[in-house]
Structure 1
Amino acid sequence: MTGIVNRYEVAEVEVIRRAGLVIYSVEGNEIGVFAIGDSFYAWRNRCPHAAAPVCEGAICESDRRLPVFGTVSPANECDERIITIKCPWHGWEFDLRTGQHIVSEHVKLQGYEVEVENGRVYVYM
């Protein structure tokens, strides 16, 4: 493996912002590109549990931090709303900003660097 990283244009910023999520095929991989506020996140549309199309799952928002290792942080420790994506097959949930599974620190979505330039969104793979 050469380690070469390529930049792929996926869409105009406004297209993704209006939709909130757009799924693209890049190099044979389905990539879900999400807009959250002014930020963009790109995740492979493949759940690490059973290869389900995870980016097609429900997006949920919470005022409180979600349970981590069986505990819930006090409300005063919550510095922002958490946004998760729930896998449509088995309900596994991941933080949409980090890709981290909400319970296991050992499970994470495969992510890609995103860049915005001149009103266009690019993904590095």
Structure 2
Amino acid sequence: MLKVIILFLNLMIFLKIFPNNFVERKEVQILFEKCKIVSQKKILEISIKNKDILDIENDYLSGRICLKAKKIGSTDVVMLLADGRGNIIWKVNVIQSVNHLKKKKKNCSTDKKMSKFDKDLKKFHQMSGWR
């Protein structure tokens, strides 16, 4: 019985010396000027390599952390887990939304897209006597 207790204590000491730390690596994309929500319950500490690209905003009422994209680019985010058993490493790419790029395109005139019949109808509607 004493040998079992000593063996169990040695095992516990061994586990404390060599903890079971794990590292999770993930690639994440965030749209420019948008947030990526992270639960505050899981995370003890967050460190960002390039703070010009991302900003940390804490929402203490809802218990969430928002990683807000400030500039377009990429950076590394390391999050230490609350239970101390490991960390999460994110490679964050801040990208511009597709809708934003579409808005920058030069708008074509609607007259170029209209058929000849529609153009004639438009002229007819613009006449002063038409109601």
Say which structure is richer in helix.
2
Q: Which has the larger radius of gyration?
A: 2
TM-score normalized with structure 1 length: 0.22
